[in-house]
């Protein structure tokens, strides 16, 4: 073991919490009050949510770095997502941090993802500052929530010094944070002080040569690929000859053409960057997250970033519908492969395998929402492709089949608990706990197979009349709990090409719920609706009324159709079955049978009309 030294000019913190507990909003307050933004400067809310999809959905998708300066100390901040599908982003962010701010909503208390992110942080031995946030909420219960946080630390086996965490109460949106709940303040200075005083500065070994762990990749139009990471030891300067050590231990020589470090929201050129700080290196093409960048003279790899294994998989193929190539710029399999491969480089949670036999790609990740975001991102870039139904990834150990299991927390009005519990029980979920509170709400905890939850959220919201809240975290693999039958419905499938016609749709309404409107183009094998029964039916949505009777023809225009809810990517992924796919283009989301011809479907699989486990939407 070498010597250790501290870089007291730096603090590296990750901001972690359950989804929506106010992380990104708190970072805004840090920007404002550390002098980064001019007084009165008008900026968007949640400045760090810079991706289009983050702004549209109001949620953080990727962990991102920024920095503020406080009392002469540079604080590198990593804002992380709270949605469980993006949990790997938190694990990646923690690889750059020496401490974490755990935000907990003052009314909701610790929720499943609070547990997940705290567990990862404690496992790394990082110091935590607890911030009970949103104390301005009328239903805030600061002391009860704080008690629950202590319980959580104990439950997760926190060490004594970790349990001895500093606590602040905050209203991030109002820019307030304080140690004592009843003290008056109009700023978050005490929080910034706590970061400087209580989060340990990064330590390094002054005798070791330069080593940096690549924790993020960026891209600049001028500089090309950027490698972002914490400098673990030594110092780096521009134009140094270095090597990058990859997963297999291979050393790839490289030269840093430009060296930068974080300053506020972006990065600025730097002569050199020293141990403990986060550097942004340009000039390195062949680098991946988890690689070590070090000197050619002393190449020594750091432990790679590890993230939980993917639990779900989905098939991506070229768009083989008759409409293929009409709306997208990138349609070829080579382009899709290239794009998915790029995703695996930038996104530690995503893996990709090629299935040459079926000219398709198996993409693995953490959840349906994460997949939906990847699909949406690709279609906006101009891609056209098809995807299959998400499947959970099974494992086999000692001859036993194992499946991913989630810990599910349901919060709903008591009157809906019965139906929720019944449906979950049908899906092999087990109730682990139940608390009734005074306000007539029930909180139930289940251990549920991940496959039971795919596509369940919509149904849950319907069953609880929109008032239920459900949250889950991945608890690990357990023995397969056996098949289960869900309530099933079939598909209403077009049997020919052509535009849908009001008259035909009106007559089809009795058969189920429709997805298309009059005038929507279609093709044979396209799914135009959800059948009320558990079988598929082939129909003609283009059928016009015979114009033999003038009066009747006039009436036709007056047909009133039930409004059609637009098909979103998430809805489509929840809806399709194993023999169906979603067709995605920059302009459209359509669902179709994998085999388009009704005749071929019939000959290949005479029983293909039987429903196979779709829940109604
Ligand atoms: N009442 C109240 N609401 C707040 C406060 N801070 C944030 N919010 C609101 O909470 C919601 C979520 O805020 P975000 O900052 O996006 O939360 P987040 O933790 O970054 O969310 P994810 O990154 O998606 O996990 C927004 O509607 C905010 O306006 C606060 O101090 N008080
Ligand atoms: Mg956020």
pLDDT of residue 309: 87
Instruction: Give the pLDDT score at 487.
Output: 52
Q: pTM for this structure?
A: 0.91
Model pLDDT, residue 553:
43
Angle at 140 between CA 139 and CA 141, to 5 degrees: 115
Span from the CA of 411 to the centroid of ligand 2 (angstroms): 23
User: In angstroms, rounded to a whole number, what is the distance separating the alpha carbons of residues 513 and 534?
Assistant: 13
Comparing CA positions, the residue from 445, 408, 314 lying closest to residue 367 is 314
To test ligand 1's pocket by mutation, which of 19, 20, 104 has the most ligand atoms within 8 angstroms of CB?
A: 20
Mean pLDDT of the chain: 91
Looking at the CA of residue 172, tell me the nearest atom of ligand 1: 31
pLDDT tens digits, residue range 328-355? 999 999 999 999 999 998 899 999 999 8
Residue 41 confidence class, pLDDT cut points 50, 70, 90: confident
More confident residue, 457 or 166: 166
Task: Report residue 308's pLDDT band, with 50, 70 and 90 as the boundaries.
Answer: confident
- Tell me, what's the pLDDT at 286? 82
**pLDDT exceeds 50 at position 611:** no
172 C-alpha vs ligand 1 centroid, how far in Å? Answer: 8
- The per-residue pLDDT for 49 is 94
188 Cα–ligand 1 center, Å: 16
Q: Tens digits of per-residue pLDDT, 208-255?
A: 999 999 999 988 878 888 999 999 999 998 878 899 999 999 999 988
Which numbered ligand comes closest to the C-alpha of 105? 1
What is the 50 CA–ligand 2 centroid distance (Å)? 10
How close is the Cα of 23 to the center of ligand 1, in Å?
Answer: 6
Residue 1 has pLDDT above 70, yes or no: no
pLDDT in tens, 490-524: 999 999 999 999 999 999 999 999 999 999 999 99
Which residues are near ligand 2, the ion (C-beta closer than 5 Å)?
23-24, 60
Q: Which of the listed residues 133, 173, 185, 471 should we mutate to test ligand 1's pocket, taking the one with most ligand atoms within 8 A of CB? A: 173
Tell me what the mean pLDDT of segment 123-150 comes to: 96
Q: How far is the CA of 137 from the centre of ligand 2 (A)?
A: 19
Residue 397 alpha carbon to ligand 1 centre in Å: 42
Ligand 1 pocket check: which of 15, 25, 145 to mutate, most ligand atoms within 8 Å of Cβ? 25
Q: Residue 354 C-alpha to ligand 1 middle, in angstroms? A: 39
Gap from CA of 103 to ligand 2 centroid (Å): 11
Atom of ligand 1 at shortest distance to CA of 58? 16
Given a cut of 70, whether residue 298 has pLDDT beyond it is yes
% the chain with pLDDT above 90: 76
Asked whether residue 269 carries a pLDDT value surpassing 50, the answer given is: yes
- Atom 5 of ligand 1, residue of closest alpha carbon: 173
Distance 113 CA to ligand 2 centre (A): 13
Q: Which ligand approaches the C-alpha of residue 132 most closely?
A: 1
Q: What is the pLDDT of residue 225?
A: 87
pLDDT at 605: 67
Query: For ligand 1, what atom is nearest to the CA of residue 19?
Result: 25
List all residues 6 or more positions away from 221 whose beta carbon is below 8 Å from its beta carbon. Answer: none
Of residues 541 and 616, more confidently modeled: 541
Q: Which residue has the higher pLDDT, 488 or 187?
A: 187
Terminal Cα-to-Cα distance of the chain (whole angstroms): 60
Residue 185 has φ and ψ, to the nearest 5°, of -155, 160
Pick the range with the lowest mean pLDDT from 23-27, 307-311, 427-431, 489-493. 307-311
Atom of ligand 1 nearest to the CA of 18: 25
Which has the higher per-residue pLDDT, 161 or 280?
280
* Percent of the chain whose predicted confidence (pLDDT) is above 70: 95
Band (431; pLDDT cuts 50, 70, 90): very high
Nearest CA to ligand 1 atom 24: 59
Local structure of residue 383 (DSSP, 8 states)? B
pLDDT, average across residues 299-328? 93
* pLDDT band (50, 70, 90) for residue 582: very high
- What's the pLDDT band for 260 if we cut at 50, 70, 90? very high
Please name the residue that has the structure tokens 């669902």: 591
Q: Which residues contact 430 (CB under 8 A, 6 or more apart)?
A: 446, 447, 448
Please report the atom of ligand 1 found closest to the CA of residue 176: 31
Q: How far is CA 310 from the centre of its chain?
A: 12
What ligand 1 atom has the least distance to the C-alpha of 59? Answer: 24
Determine the atom of ligand 1 nearest the C-alpha atom of 54.
24
Q: What is the pLDDT of residues 47-100, one digit of tens each?
A: 999 999 999 999 999 999 999 999 999 999 999 999 999 999 999 999 999 999
Task: Between 463 and 219, name the one with better pLDDT.
Answer: 463
DSSP string, 426-466: HTT-EEEEEEE-TTSEEEEEEEEEHHHHTTHHHHHHHHTTT
Tell whether the model's pLDDT for residue 550 goes beyond 80: no
Quick one: average pLDDT of 478-499?
89
Stretch (H or E) spanning 102: strand 99-105
Which residues are near ligand 1 (CB < 6 Å)?
Answer: 17, 19-25, 46, 59-60, 81-83, 133-134, 136-137, 171-173
pLDDT at 315 over 90: yes
Single out the residue of 175, 102, 90, 171 nearest to residue 137, CA to CA.
Answer: 171
Residue with CA at minimum distance from ligand 1 atom 9:
22
Buried b (16+ CB within 10 A) or exposed e, 191-225: bbbbbeeebebbebbeebebbbbbbbbbeeeeeeb
Task: Give the per-residue pLDDT at 104.
Answer: 98
């Amino acid at each position: 073991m070498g010597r250790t030294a501290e870089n007291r000019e730096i603090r590296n913190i990750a901001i972690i919490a359950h989804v929506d507990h106010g992380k990104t909003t708190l970072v805004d307050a840090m920007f404002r009050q550390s002098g980064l933004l001019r007084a009165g400067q008008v900026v968007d809310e949640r400045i760090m949510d810079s991706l289009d999809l983050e702004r549209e959905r109001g949620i953080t998708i990727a962990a991102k770095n920024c920095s503020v300066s406080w009392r002469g100390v540079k604080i590198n901040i990593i804002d992380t997502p709270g949605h469980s599908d993006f949990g790997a982003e938190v694990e990646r962010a923690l690889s750059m941090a020496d401490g974490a701010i755990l935000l907990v909503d003052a009314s909701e208390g610790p929720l499943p993802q609070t547990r997940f992110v705290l567990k990862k942080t404690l496992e790394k031995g990082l110091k935590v500052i607890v911030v009970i946030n949103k104390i301005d909420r009328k239903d805030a219960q600061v002391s009860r929530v704080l008690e629950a946080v202590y319980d959580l630390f104990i439950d997760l086996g926190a060490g004594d010094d970790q349990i001895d965490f500093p606590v602040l109460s905050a209203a991030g949106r109002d820019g307030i944070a304080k140690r004592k709940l009843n003290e008056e303040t109009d700023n978050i200075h005490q929080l910034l002080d706590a970061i400087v005083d209580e989060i340990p500065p990064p330590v390094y070994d002054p005798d070791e040569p330069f080593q940096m762990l690549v924790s993020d990749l960026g891209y600049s139009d001028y500089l090309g690929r950027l490698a972002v990471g914490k400098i673990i030891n030594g110092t780096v300067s521009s134009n140094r000859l270095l090597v990058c050590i990859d997963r297999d231990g291979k050393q790839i020589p490289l030269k840093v053409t430009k060296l930068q470090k974080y300053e506020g929201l972006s990065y600025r050129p730097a002569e050199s960057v020293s141990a403990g700080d986060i550097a942004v290196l340009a000039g390195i093409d062949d680098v991946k997250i988890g690689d070590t960048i070090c000197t050619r003279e002393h190449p020594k790899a750091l432990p790679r970033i590890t993230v939980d294994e993917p639990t779900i998989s989905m098939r991506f193929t070229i768009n083989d519908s008759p409409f293929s190539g009409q709306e997208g710029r990138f349609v070829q399999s080579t382009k899709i492969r290239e794009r998915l491969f790029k995703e695996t480089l930038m996104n530690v949670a995503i893996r990709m395998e090629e299935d040459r036999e079926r000219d398709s790609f198996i993409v693995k990740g953490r959840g349906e929402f994460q997949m939906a975001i990847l699909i949406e991102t690709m279609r906006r870039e101009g891609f056209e492709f098809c995807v299959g139904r998400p499947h959970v990834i099974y494992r086999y150990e000692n001859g036993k089949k194992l499946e991913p299991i989630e810990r599910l927390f349901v919060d709903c009005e008591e009157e809906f608990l019965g139906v929720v519990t019944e449906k979950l029980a049908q899906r092999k979920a087990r109730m682990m706990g139940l608390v009734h509170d005074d306000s007539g709400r029930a909180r139930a905890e289940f251990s549920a197979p991940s496959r039971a939850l795919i596509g369940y959220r919509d149904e849950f919201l319907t069953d609880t009349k929109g008032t239920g809240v459900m949250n889950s975290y991945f608890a690990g693999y357990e023995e397969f709990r056996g098949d289960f039958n869900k309530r099933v419905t079939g598909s209403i499938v077009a049997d020919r090409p052509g535009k849908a016609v009001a008259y035909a749709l009106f007559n089809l309404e009795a058969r189920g719920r429709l997805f298309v409107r009059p005038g929507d183009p279609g093709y044979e094998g396209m799914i135009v609706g959800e059948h009320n029964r558990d079988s598929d039916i082939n129909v003609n949505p283009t059928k016009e009324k015979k114009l033999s009777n003038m009066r009747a023809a006039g009436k036709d225009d007056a047909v009133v159709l039930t409004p059609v809810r637009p098909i979103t990517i998430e809805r489509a992924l929840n809806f399709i079955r194993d023999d169906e796919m979603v067709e995605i283009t920059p302009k459209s989301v359509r669902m179709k049978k994998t085999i388009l011809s009704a005749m071929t479907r019939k000959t290949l699989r005479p029983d293909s009309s039987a429903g196979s486990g779709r829940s109604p939407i």
